[in-house]
Structure 1
Amino acid sequence: MDRTSLTALIQHHLSLARDASSGRSSHTVYGGHARTLRQTLIAMTRGRRLDDHENPGEATLHVLHGRVRLTAGDTAAEGETGDLLIIPDARHALEAIEDSAVLLTVAKR
């Protein structure tokens, strides 16, 4: 049985994001391209975004730190630490309202 400290990953990847020109850092916590389930920690500095992209399967976004805005077309939802957002089955984007870390969980189709 493996154990991962999300708290340590948040601190580490927010630090990396602050130093990166993209303002982002990510780490696959579980799974990967060869598995159905994948969990990825994504850290983003305030004002950075992941532009519109397709949803590869059923997906949720757990806000671990900060505040984010998830948009799909004309619809938007904000989430803050502790919130779980269901990612719609549509093109969508993510913006960090403040320095943030999220856990993206995807079950590929």
Structure 2
Amino acid sequence: MHETVNVAAAAEEELEKARTSPHGRSARALVRDGLLRHTLLAILDGQVLGDHAKPAGATLQVLRGTFVVRSETAEVRLAAGEVGVLPGPRHDVTAEGDSIGILTTVAA
């Protein structure tokens, strides 16, 4: 059986959860396939997902807003409609505007 998700509806739900969260963010797994993971992220304007390790592989596709991803050696700014590889091996993420994205990772 193939799993499908209505991304637009899920994005709105996660944004509402972020608005009621004391941390101003919310995330949920969308789909998984073996080592591949797609996670929906919603982070409110100005909120930060603190320093954390990058998985073996990670990209972020931005659906709304802008995410700024900073590592010790690089800064990647991704706006709505863009997708990019996240810098590593550690980074943090800041939202500019209420932002929604799909994080795709490969588990080690």
Unmatched 5+ residue regions in structure 1?
none
- State the superposition RMSD in angstroms: 1.4
Distance in structure 2 (CA, Å) of the matches to 1:98 and 1:85:
18
Distance in structure 2 (CA, Å) of the matches to 1:56 and 1:31:
15
- For 1:21, what is the secondary structure of its paired residue? coil
Distance in structure 2 (CA, Å) of the matches to 1:97 and 1:49:
10
Q: Confirm or deny: 8 A CA contact 2:43 2:98 kept in the other structure.
A: yes
Query: Partner of 2:40 in structure 1?
Result: 41
Query: Is 1:95 the counterpart of 2:86 in the alignment?
Result: no
Give the letter for the 1:23 counterpart. G
Query: Partner of 1:15 in structure 2?
Result: 16
Query: Is 1:108 the counterpart of 2:95 in the alignment?
Result: no
Counting matched residue pairs gives 107
Query: Partner of 2:49 in structure 1?
Result: 50
Which consecutive aligned stretches of 4+ in structure 1 deviate over 3 angstroms post-superposition?
none
Distance in structure 1 (CA, Å) of the matches to 2:7 and 2:65:
14
Q: Percent identity?
A: 30
Cα deviation for residue 88 of structure 1 reads 2.4
TM-score (norm 2): 0.92
Q: Confirm or deny: 8 A CA contact 1:42 1:101 kept in the other structure.
A: yes
Distance in structure 1 (CA, Å) of the matches to 2:31 and 2:3:
10
TM-score (norm 1): 0.91
Cα deviation for residue 74 of structure 1 reads 4.0
Distance in structure 2 (CA, Å) of the matches to 1:15 and 1:44:
10
